[in-house]
Chains A and B, each alone.
Chain A
Amino acid sequence: MSNRPFTHLDALESESIHIMREVAAECANPVLLFSGGKDSIVLLRLAEKAFRPGRFPFPLMHIDTEHNFPEVIDFRNHRAKELGERLIVRSMEDSIKKGRVVLRSETQSRNAFQSVTLLDAIAEFSFDACIGGARRDEEKARAKERIFSFRDEFGQWDPKNQRPELWDLYNTRTHPGENIRVFPISNWTELDVWEYIAREKLEVPSIYFAHEREVIRRDAGLLPVSHLVQPKAGEKSERVTVRFRTVGDMSCTCPVASNAATVGDIIAETAMTRITERGATRMDDQTSDASMELRKKEGYF
């Protein structure tokens, strides 16, 4: 043990475990947001390392857009069961039924509306801290966000008014109604996440690996054909070998052409890749240069 070098993954892991334990100790009622995606899969392993042989001092929660890939939902349920931890699912469908979310059309992307369901769930359970798998390398607005990031009563993020975060002394105090979003893997990159998945031999949903899929070429990307996405006039679908780099809303998450069949292949591909994760796979982030910043200000994760 003592002869083994302390690698960057060891350093990142230890920092993340430290953050999780601080949340557990200082927040009254935290929750861990688990979507079945690779970043939250890493969070669960970090929680195991932080709290086993004990139970997690928080439940898991998924805000389900009901536009998720079925493989990811199966994986989510299977993993929560395997861990023996409590999984709360709150569905955007309920927010739509209650009239809290009004969509222009059934097939519209639901990413931007997740915040409504999330804020309702936070209020329902009185959660004071939500642990999430966001990383600073994902996007410009994230690069400026603290590890412990505060939201006011309306769930809003104020980038100009963030608490200074020094050393690893986290100030977790909140006023009633306020909420903290905690990002234990803030300092991890996409490559770090895959290297960790390889090192820890973590299982991930099958759609991360290369598979044949019916897709449409639209704008510069590939869109997966589903009940939400059908070819428009003049478009035709084709079968292509693809994989997903992120697993979000089916109507706006684009796969990339890839033959990567193993985690090792994905690492090699990620190390070589010339396009950012969100740039390649999220239609909703390409709308404007500041899309993520605007959504975050409105309470998006």
Chain B
Amino acid sequence: MSEIEKIPLDQTELLRFITAGSVDDGKSTLIGRMLHDSKSIFEDQLSSITNTTRKRGMEGVDLSLLTDGLQAEREQGITIDVAYRYFATPKRKFIIADTPGHEQYTRNMVTGASTANLAVILIDARKGVLTQSRRHTYLASLVGIPHLVVAVNKMDLVDYSQSIFDEICKDFAVFAEQLDLHHVDFIPMSALKGDMVVERGEYLDWYKGTTLMDLLENISITNDVNRDDFRFPVQWVCRPQTKELHDFRGYMGRIESGSVCVGDAVTVLPSGLNSRIKEIVLYEGNVDDAAAPQSVTLTIEDHLDISRGDVLVKTGDLPLVTKEFDAMLCWLSEQPLDPGRKYLIKHTTRIVKAVVSRIDYRVDVNTMNHEPIQTLKMNDIAHVGIKVQQPLVCDDYQRNRSMGCFIVIDESSNNTVAAGMIGSSVS
């Protein structure tokens, strides 16, 4: 063990989550409540929003103002983009991707959800499961978020009624059956009054489950990364060419999934050449094994021609190497898809030319019905076929998120125009 590992460290993990819901569901109030009750709001922030609340002719402190960001937004009373919030408890550090709930919702939610371990779906207890709740849940399942929490909010406005809560849970379960959801929890709460967010409150004694904060602190996220399949896309080749390290050739990158040990037989893709792991190099010194999502440097026994974009995998556990695949595509750009035009795809550390060769159907995110279409506009989600000029080394997205995701770039504008998830099993 190196010196550094001997330092007693706090053992807090990092959990990333997204809150889905419109302003009316009390989403900003919920985030404000979590920050406030976990004592993550600073005095100067509190005094600033107290002033703003007063300026707007209201009393007390409007916690939803905490998540307002830019001057343009404050003037217009809207939120225009994904914002990231940070708070910590003694058990965990949290990153919230806060996405606004207006018409560009699909684009923003997919963006915020792409890195999340967990999604909180907000439902207004007075309104029950609405079209937008279905849309949020569908998107969470599409992006493969491992944990889902259904927060039935505004319980104070329905007299904290258990039967209303039960009814909403039942409705939700019926529709969620159609989706590939891994893990769902239901929590009744009032973000405004603070019931069941951080504190239990006084009015929900019939509910025996945990508070939202308790759940966020304790849910197991160890297996959110694929632990089985070793995948190492090469980011950078290190060749110091100094006197002492004349022949050193290190492959630098992040282990996207699985783990690796010194001596493991590995295959380099797409070339298919084989070798063994010689060293796992860290700044602190060499180690015998490493696992996702560590960033490491690997050396191998043989002198092979390996460059950025190549992927090292274990010899017995090969991913797909292909120039044609099916994918779910979420169109993000105001400029619609030009079928037949060449785009760039960035997948792991590889950038290739690509065309959308087929559009099978669009998914209506509200009903989940399939509809025939000719092209893709902003916020459309569609099942497509894609052809690429050089092969991609990939896995099905639902099995391995980081090896199944890609972005589409328009070569003339340089904009990111779409997000894709490989595999026909997503539908």
Which residues on A are within 8 Å of B, measured CB to CB?
A: 1-2, 4-15, 17-18, 21-22, 24-25, 48-55, 57, 136-137, 140-141, 143-144, 159-160, 162-169, 171, 173-175, 186-187, 189, 191-192, 195, 198-201, 273-276, 279-280, 289-290, 293-294
Q: Which 5 A-B pairs have the closest CB atoms?
A: A279-B44, A290-B71, A8-B14, A17-B295, A173-B414
Asked whether any CB of chain A lies closer than 8 Å to the CB of B142, the reply is no
| Complex Cα gap A199–B9 (Å) | 8
B148 CB contacts on chain A under 8 angstroms: none
| Complex Cα gap A187–B347 (Å) | 23
| Complex Cα gap A156–B190 (Å) | 42
**Nearest A-chain residue to B85, judged by Cβ:** A143
**Nearest B-chain residue to A45, judged by Cβ:** B283
| Complex Cα gap A289–B51 (Å) | 11
A21-B252 contact given A7-B12, A14-B295, CB 8 Å threshold: yes
| Complex Cα gap A48–B3 (Å) | 17
Contact, CB under 8 Å: B235 / A144: no
A51-B4 contact given A1-B287, A8-B92, A293-B71, CB 8 Å threshold: no
Given A163, A167, A199, which contacts B7 in the complex, CB threshold below 8 Å? A199
Contact, CB under 8 Å: A141 / B415: no
B405 CB contacts on chain A under 8 angstroms: 166-167, 169
B7 CB contacts on chain A under 8 angstroms: 198-199
Could you list some 29 contacts between A and B, CB below 8 A?
A1-B288, A2-B259, A7-B14, A8-B92, A9-B9, A14-B294, A17-B295, A18-B295, A21-B236, A25-B236, A136-B86, A140-B69, A141-B70, A143-B84, A144-B80, A160-B81, A164-B111, A166-B110, A166-B407, A167-B402, A167-B405, A171-B409, A171-B414, A171-B415, A171-B416, A187-B84, A275-B44, A276-B44, A290-B71
Of B70, B107, B248, B347, most buried by chain A (CB within 10 Å of CB) is B70
Asked whether any CB of chain A lies closer than 8 Å to the CB of B82, the reply is yes
Asked whether any CB of chain A lies closer than 8 Å to the CB of B342, the reply is no
Contact, CB under 8 Å: B111 / A171: no
Which residues on B are within 8 Å of A, measured CB to CB?
A: 3-5, 7, 9-14, 42-45, 48, 68-72, 74, 80-86, 88, 92-93, 95, 107, 110-111, 114-115, 235-236, 238-240, 242, 245, 248, 250, 252-254, 259, 281-283, 287-291, 293-295, 308, 332, 346-347, 349, 401-402, 405-407, 409, 414-416, 419
Closest CB in chain A relative to B225 CB, distance in Å: 9
**Nearest A-chain residue to B238, judged by Cβ:** A54
A192-B295 contact given A166-B407, A199-B9, A200-B4, CB 8 Å threshold: no
**Nearest B-chain residue to A200, judged by Cβ:** B4
Contact, CB under 8 Å: B43 / A275: yes
Contact, CB under 8 Å: A25 / B349: yes
Contact, CB under 8 Å: A159 / B402: no
| Complex Cα gap A119–B402 (Å) | 36
**Nearest A-chain residue to B351, judged by Cβ:** A26
Given A50-B295, A54-B238, A167-B407, 4 other A-B residues pairs in contact with their CB atoms under 8 A: A163-B415, A164-B107, A166-B416, A289-B71
B69 CB contacts on chain A under 8 angstroms: 140-141, 143-144
Given B81, B252, B409, which contacts A162 in the complex, CB threshold below 8 Å? B81
A174 CB contacts on chain B under 8 angstroms: 414
B415 CB contacts on chain A under 8 angstroms: 163, 171
**Nearest A-chain residue to B294, judged by Cβ:** A14
| Complex Cα gap A66–B43 (Å) | 33
B111 CB contacts on chain A under 8 angstroms: 164-166
**Nearest B-chain residue to A188, judged by Cβ:** B86
Of B107, B254, B282, most buried by chain A (CB within 10 Å of CB) is B254
A187-B82 contact given A21-B252, A51-B238, CB 8 Å threshold: no
Given A52, A143, A163, A175, which contacts B416 in the complex, CB threshold below 8 Å? A163
Contact, CB under 8 Å: A290 / B70: yes
Given A50, A143, A166, which contacts B419 in the complex, CB threshold below 8 Å? A166
| Complex Cα gap A52–B284 (Å) | 10
Contact, CB under 8 Å: B283 / A48: yes
Closest CB in chain B relative to A163 CB, distance in Å: 5
**Nearest B-chain residue to A170, judged by Cβ:** B346
A166 CB contacts on chain B under 8 angstroms: 110-111, 114, 405, 407, 416, 419
| Complex Cα gap A5–B414 (Å) | 40
| Complex Cα gap A276–B10 (Å) | 23
A8-B13 contact given A51-B238, A173-B409, CB 8 Å threshold: yes
Contact, CB under 8 Å: A11 / B293: yes
Closest CB in chain B relative to A301 CB, distance in Å: 17
B107 CB contacts on chain A under 8 angstroms: 164
Closest CB in chain A relative to B337 CB, distance in Å: 15
B95 CB contacts on chain A under 8 angstroms: 187
Contact, CB under 8 Å: B13 / A171: no
Contact, CB under 8 Å: B70 / A140: yes
Given A6, A55, A140, A290, which contacts B240 in the complex, CB threshold below 8 Å? A55
B82 CB contacts on chain A under 8 angstroms: 144
Contact, CB under 8 Å: B254 / A1: no
**Nearest B-chain residue to A173, judged by Cβ:** B414
Closest CB in chain A relative to B365 CB, distance in Å: 17
| Complex Cα gap A201–B84 (Å) | 29
A199 CB contacts on chain B under 8 angstroms: 4, 7, 9
Contact, CB under 8 Å: B42 / A274: yes
| Complex Cα gap A251–B88 (Å) | 33
| Complex Cα gap A54–B244 (Å) | 12
A167 CB contacts on chain B under 8 angstroms: 114-115, 401-402, 405, 407
A162 CB contacts on chain B under 8 angstroms: 81
**Nearest A-chain residue to B411, judged by Cβ:** A173
Of A141, A166, A174, A175, most buried by chain B (CB within 10 Å of CB) is A166
A168 CB contacts on chain B under 8 angstroms: 115, 402
Closest CB in chain B relative to A285 CB, distance in Å: 10
